[in-house]
Amino acid sequence: MQSTTPTFTLRLHVRISLGLLAMFILKTWRSTAFGIYGYLNFTKSGFLEHSKNFKPEDMATRIDGKNCIVTGANSGIGYAAAEGLASRGANVYMVCRNRERGEAALSKIHSTTGNQNVHLEVNNAGVLENTRVTTPEGYEMNFAVNVLGTYGMTELLVPLLEKCEGDARVITVSSGGMYTSPLTTDLQFKDGEFNGVEQYARNKRVQVALTEKWAEKYGNKGIGFYAMHPGWAETPGVTNSLPAFSKSMQGKLRTSEEGADTVVWLALQPKQNLVSGGLYFDRTEAPKHLPFAATSNSHNAIDSIMATLDSLANFSI
């Protein structure tokens, strides 16, 4: 009797090869679509074009006495957001990784805005590590800071946010890089060769999906949840983490203030004018997925991911 094993083996190899080819084509398409979309929209010229539709009165609102926590507030987009909110009268709590740089930024904001109700706290905010680094707790660093930290901080603040008379809002700064990645349950990049830029994109996709879920989960508690992406801005973080990209885009990147514009805008707008769970870019709601990128169905994994984060954060919600 003739063995059929070689035939089965051949079919298996063909299927694997076709699967890998399809995956390669899809990843290539995502990167290409993101590059074109980003170059047309995320650059300084994109901001200048979009700003033609901005309404100056949207940024004239005062928020005296409102409490605002801004992470990564000592430089870049975080600093610009903190300064923008302080200039409109908010009580700002700057969360910075480095106390010395944080104190210097605090002093500058006091001086430029005249608002003395700006305070410094120390914690990490966001990171892009290009090589695998593990925290003392054993978590991959990008995930620990960008996802687990974001999740834990937000969930623990919910009881306080509920007391804000329906005006509380959480604004999560994502990244356009998330367009290149679907949501994945491989949160710590244990499968395959580690890639820091890809992991950062995965982290930012999680933030957008979390924002959707938070809006659903806490919709009856008077808290608005919004994700935004700042476009491609010239910040110390970009220069340090993506030096080749920063150099190639010299003169085309946005300023930190332009990158932070939508953060401040989201903090100032009446909540009835905003969509909780939405992703915003240049003061308007933006798509969360690019055409034919096959990322939208991946958001179905968010319940499983939140359960994992809840377990890792070691508290029960």
Q: Which residue has the tokens 């990147």?
A: 253
Q: Residue 168 pairs with which residues in a beta bridge?
A: 223
**284-285 vs 279-281, strand pairing mode:** antiparallel
DSSP 8-state code for residue 147: I
Active site residue: 79, 200, 218, 280, which one? Answer: 200
Angle at which helix 196-217 crosses helix 149-161, to 10 degrees, equals 20
DSSP 225-294: EEEE---SB--HHHHHH-HHHHHHTTTTSBPHHHHHHHHHHHHHS-GGGS-TT-EEETTEE--SS-TT--
| Euclidean distance between CA atoms 81 and 63, whole angstroms | 14
Is 200 an active-site residue? Answer: yes
Active site residues: 200
